[in-house]
Structure 1
Amino acid sequence: MISHGVQFSIAQHAQWAPGLETDSLWDEWAAERTLISPTNNTPPGVQDMPAMLRRRARFLGRMALEVAYRCLGERQDIPTIFCSRHGEVDHSVELIQELNTEGGISPIGFSSAVHNATAGLFSIARKDRSNHIAIAAGASTVEHAVIEACSLLEDGAQAVLLVNYEQALPPVFERFQDCLEQAYAWAWLIVPAREDSVTLQWKKGASISADTPCDVSGVSPPGLDILHFHLAKSASLERSANGLQWTWSRNSDAV
């Protein structure tokens, strides 16, 4: 069976979740793999962003912006990829309810619900005209974002910022979920492969019937599985999603 793959390195990383705001707490999470259960709804500060723009971001967007700023630092002219399987779906539900009861929605409310809203805020705040992309690709959203990042590297980019961010689904969508969604965000600064590179390979895999019963209580979100692979320095990670078999592996040799 034919397989395909890309290879890259992670030059910098950052992650944030409610109750997991520091690197040491994330190290503990990587060792114990505990459920991320928010104890409060206080969003990250995103102090590097002007207040006027920061106020336009909701909780999910603020998590993404926080890790994006932490990971990118003062670097400029870096293409960015913001990837989220569901995006601001809770806000979209609110807008639909508002449309149903009031017959209309505010332009500001709509603009903050579109999938590239957070990427746009980040670009505007930094006055950065670099390429930015928003991706949603189901259960393999992160994998497709990595492929896109490696394509940009192949086209000549020196580095690419990849941000993955998710949150719990609103109750109306819970019966459709195939994993226990949790609130988190992480960012990688992806560069061409060097020492300690990562390889992502994929090939056609067995399809899973949509009618297959699934208890999602113990199923982790794909993005957290992949983050754990990185933080725990695991040798490999096997995933099946979107009809493909995905294999993440860590390489110790220079490329």
Structure 2
Amino acid sequence: MVPPTMTPRFAVRGWSAWAGGLDTPEAWRAWSKAPVLPPAAPPVPALAEVAAMLRRRVPPLGRVALAPVYACARAIAAQPGADADTGPVPAVFCSRHGDTARLVPMLNELAAGAPLSPTAFGLSVHNAIGAIRSIDLTDRTNLLALSAGRDTVETAVFESCSLLAEGAAEVLLAYYEAPLAEPYAPFVDEPEAMYSWCWRLAVPREGEPHYALAVGDPVRDQPAMATAEQAARPLLPHGLDVLRFMLAGDAGLIHRGENTMWEWKYQGQPCPST
């Protein structure tokens, strides 16, 4: 594991993203220069890559989450030298809230004393979406699923860099989110949208453009945390703002997590076009 006192550094070797009206690299790059909040309930991807018998079980958020994962794999396979064997690629799937739209009906059934559908329950757990990909591709490589509140994206990056430190050639990082179901509306603390993105992370080569993620000091950063707390409501949810930061080639991004500040830094040229 990467100790929390360290600053992990990583390169993004490939990426893809999906939101309503945004499904190509060109569209996402244009969006990063003039970002707007994507729709909360867009038509979901067809996900034609997944086997039909499995695809029909994938819920809407699962289709949104998996679309850029498959698209990223296609883009990387098309790159020069892609046939070189990099070994198994572990995956980290993360979402702050997961699929609450599936959770609420099951909770209502439990409250009414009705039996739960095993299929509905199996597809509601936090690792279900990543598991669908593993089943579809017969992929037995390490799969992690996590959620860490306002620190979800950063925690997933730390987990991915831990896998790189343990010897993985690359790590697939998938982030996805959807608006909270209506009963949870009082807990909404950022703009909501349905979106997802996928990065392929690797240890930077000598001179390769890369990113660093630093953990702030709670005592030192307390004034900045207070300022962030008083700031105007942001335009984008944090997970989408991280993607914007990566695509726009900004030098840095500050995020207030649950108990600390996170500082993203970028060193190099704009990210690859995949």
TM-score, with normalisation over the residues of structure 2? 0.84
Tell me the secondary structure at the aligned position of residue 5 of structure 1: coil
**TM-fit CA distance, 1:102:** 5.2
Aligned equivalents of 1:203 and 1:62: distance in 2?
Answer: 35
Q: Which runs of 5+ in 1 are unaligned?
A: none
Aligned equivalents of 1:123 and 1:76: distance in 2?
Answer: 16
Tell me the secondary structure at the aligned position of residue 15 of structure 2: strand
Aligned counterpart, 2:66: 65
- What's the CA shift string for 1:90-135, capped at 9, x where partnerless? 1101111122335221000000100000011010100011000001
Q: Which runs of 5+ in 2 are unaligned?
A: 78-85, 270-274
Aligned counterpart, 2:29: 27
Q: 1:130 aligns with which of 134, 141, 166?
A: 141
Aligned equivalents of 2:245 and 2:122: distance in 1?
Answer: 34
Q: 2:131 aligns with which of 107, 112, 120?
A: 120
Aligned counterpart, 1:36: 38
Alpha-carbon contact 2:211-2:265 (below 8 Å) kept = yes
The reply on whether 1:239 has 2:255 as its aligned counterpart is yes
Tell me the secondary structure at the aligned position of residue 43 of structure 2: coil
User: Which letter does structure 2 place at the counterpart of 1:233?
Assistant: G
- What's the CA shift string for 1:16-72, capped at 9, x where partnerless? 01121222221221111111125x642112111101111111111111111111112
Aligned equivalents of 2:119 and 2:93: distance in 1?
Answer: 20
The reply on whether 1:176 has 2:187 as its aligned counterpart is yes
TM-score, with normalisation over the residues of structure 1? 0.90
**TM-fit CA distance, 1:242:** 1.6
- What's the CA shift string for 1:121-158, capped at 9, x where partnerless? 01010001100000100011010000011110111100
Alpha-carbon contact 1:178-1:219 (below 8 Å) kept = no
Aligned equivalents of 2:28 and 2:192: distance in 1?
Answer: 18
Alpha-carbon contact 2:37-2:235 (below 8 Å) kept = no
**Structure 1: 4+ residue segments shifted above 4 A:** 212-216
Q: 1:94 aligns with which of 84, 105, 114?
A: 105
